[in-house]
């Protein structure tokens, strides 16, 4: 495949995740909401893993979405749910998750902290008197609570990576102490796995559960990433370099998946 030299931040995040799905091709994915999480699975289905097992947040099992479509605007629609094995409910697939049937959940986040807790509800103030209120959990709480592992998407900004979230909408490793999730009634051995931004990939230390920088994009250095965080993550002893999108991935993403027939204009443009 040919390395692309011009793409947007959203396209980078989507392509990173699709490559991870290719490596983890035997896993099942419960996708929360639309946007980059759904686009990542659609791209992986189109180019890497045609028989990928995907369940949508609202309870639709193994659809074959009628692309092209806007992964954000048509979520919970006939196009997104086309030729599904079953149209069920969120309660039904929550039951499936409780049984341990979903390996990974993929979610967007408004804020995240060092332990992978997610805020998608409010900024400033408190729950009853927020500075600004957002859409909230939807099915994200169930996904973050009961999938074996959670994959997060966000942008590389200091306001996104905070020492303490304004509100915990969906749980990560909570306070990071041993057994914190289990004490809260969540399944054992579950929790955040990876977090992708256009500039980096993070994981979580196995002992402390603290966020760890694992890989960076080829157009940034470590300090570029750290400057856009309100806390300093742990850093892997050997940092990897993320592979940028390929021309083949971008063509499929822009033409076969998104209805505009052009770049996904979310975030800034990246030119290598």
Domain segments of the chain: what residues? Answer: 6-271
pTM of the predicted structure, to 2 decimals: 0.95
Q: What is the DSSP string of the chain?
A: -PBPSEEEHHHHHHHHHHHHHHHTTT-EEEE-SSSHHHHHHHHHHHHT-TT-EEEETTSEES----SS--TTTTSSSTTTTTT-SEE--HHHHHHHHHTT---EEEEE-SEE-TT--EE-SEEEE-SSSEEEE----TTHHHHHHHSSEEEEE--S-TTTB-SS-S--SB-SSTT--TTHHHHTTPPTT-EEEEEE-SSEEEEE-TTT--EEEEEEETT--HHHHHTT-SSPPEEEEEEEEEPPPBHHHHHIIIIIISTTSS---SS-EEE-
Q: Flag whether pLDDT at 149 surpasses 90.
A: yes
pLDDT tens-place string over residues 244-268: 999 999 999 999 999 988 888 888 9
The CATH fold assigned to 6-271 is Glutaconate Coenzyme A-transferase (3.40.1080)
pLDDT tens-place string over residues 65-121: 999 998 888 877 889 999 999 999 999 999 999 999 999 999 999 999 999 999 999
pLDDT tens-place string over residues 56-77: 999 999 999 999 998 888 877 8
pLDDT tens-place string over residues 189-240: 999 999 999 999 999 999 999 999 999 999 999 999 999 999 999 999 999 9
pLDDT value, residue 62: 95
């Amino acid at each position: 495949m040919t390395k692309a030299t011009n793409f947007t931040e959203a396209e980078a995040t989507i392509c990173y995740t699709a490559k991870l799905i290719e490596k983890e091709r035997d896993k099942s994915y419960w996708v929360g909401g639309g946007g980059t999480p759904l686009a990542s699975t659609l791209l992986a289905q189109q180019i890497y893993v045609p028989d990928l097992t995907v369940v949508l947040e609202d309870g639709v099992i193994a659809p074959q979405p009628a692309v092209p479509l806007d992964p954000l605007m048509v979520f919970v629609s006939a196009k997104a749910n086309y030729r599904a094995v079953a149209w069920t409910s969120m309660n039904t697939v929550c039951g499936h998750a409780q049984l341990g049937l979903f390996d990974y959940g993929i979610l967007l986040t408004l804020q995240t902290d060092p332990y992978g807790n997610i805020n998608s509800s409010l900024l400033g103030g408190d729950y009853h008197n927020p500075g600004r209120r957002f859409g909230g959990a939807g099915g994200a709480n169930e996904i973050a609570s009961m999938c074996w592992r959670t994959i997060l998407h966000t942008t590389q900004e200091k306001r996104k990576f905070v020492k303490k979230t304004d509100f915990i909408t969906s749980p990560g490793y909570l306070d990071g102490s041993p057994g914190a999730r289990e004490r809260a009634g969540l399944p054992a051995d579950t929790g955040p796995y990876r977090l992708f931004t256009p500039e980096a990939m993070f994981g979580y230390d196995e002992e402390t559960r603290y966020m760890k920088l694992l890989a960076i994009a080829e157009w940034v250095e470590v300090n570029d990433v750290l400057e856009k965080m309100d806390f300093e993550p742990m850093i892997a002893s050997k940092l990897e370099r993320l592979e940028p999108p390929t021309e083949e991935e971008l063509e499929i993403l822009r033409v076969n998946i998104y209805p505009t027939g052009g770049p996904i204009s979310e975030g800034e443009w990246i030119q290598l």
